[in-house]
Amino acid sequence: MARLDDAGIPAIHSPAFEIEHAPESVIRDRIDSLAGFDAAIVTSPVAARIVAEGAVDSGLRDVPFFAPGRGTASLLLAAGLRCGFPDSGGTSEHILAMADFADVDGSRIAIVGAPGGRGLLASELSERGADVVAVHVYRRTALPPAAALIDALRQRQGPVVLISSRQAFAMITDALDDATRMAWLGSRFIVSSARLERLCSEAGVARIRCASGAADDHMLAAALDAGWMRG
């Protein structure tokens, strides 16, 4: 939002959900349980912060952690944990392509995050022979779309939508009435992955540009390259 404001580009912030942490006692038990895994994939900055805060005086120093990108990994590294991440990209496909996950037959792998995300990681690692366990330390609760977004859609302003979450896309789409949903699907979408591009296309979005990743620079560069913004 700050980058768009600096460039003189009007923007609307419409969070699709809010974060609700699991109870403290539950988080404590689930973080402690990570010591029993051969690897733990922490799927978001929110999950990384929760793990980092709970890692003090824990037995997690020898657990290999993995994250989608450098930013999320930095939160775990700052807590003294080991953490790898893909050389480029931050999708599940990039994580799965890491050499660390080429031979996981018989390994126990935790996927740390919230319900409803990173299903590809679990299914693919299970197919490779790993025992995969979802460790949920928070959940996402849907929020109504911002009033400014509803107004822009009703006025047929054709906004450019920068979105990096499949769950966020589904939550916003499901919250709209029929007419507003049509305007939403008729918007121009900048998405962060090929899987999100397919989801949007299958939902009826026709104008989509796929960025090289979910980082701010990647998303904004894709929007500018498409000619959909001035900056």
pTM for this predicted structure? 0.78
Q: Which two tokens mark 163?
A: 């979105």
Q: Does 2-15+144-225 match 19-140 in CATH topology?
A: yes
Distances 204 to 13, 187, 224 between C-alpha atoms, Å = 23, 10, 23
Answer whether CATH 3.30.70.141 is correct for domain 19-140.
no
Q: Does position 12 have pLDDT exceeding 90, yes or no? A: yes
Q: Using alpha carbons, select from 112, 143, 106, 150 the residue that is nearest to residue 125.
A: 106
Q: Which two tokens mark 102?
A: 């080429």
Let me know: does 135 contact 34? Beta carbons within 8 Å. yes
200 bridge partner residues: none
Residues 34-91: tens digit of each pLDDT:
999 999 999 999 999 999 998 876 689 899 999 998 899 999 999 999 999 998 877 8
31 bridge partner residues: none
Residues 129-184: tens digit of each pLDDT:
999 999 999 999 999 999 999 999 999 888 999 999 888 999 999 999 999 999 99
Instruction: Give me the pLDDT at residue 210, please.
Output: 95
Where do the structural domains in the chain lie, given as residue ranges? Answer: 2-15+144-225, 19-140
- Classify domain 2-15+144-225 at the CATH class level: alpha beta
Phi/psi-derived region of residue 158, left when phi > 0, alpha when psi is between -120 and 50, beta in every other case: left
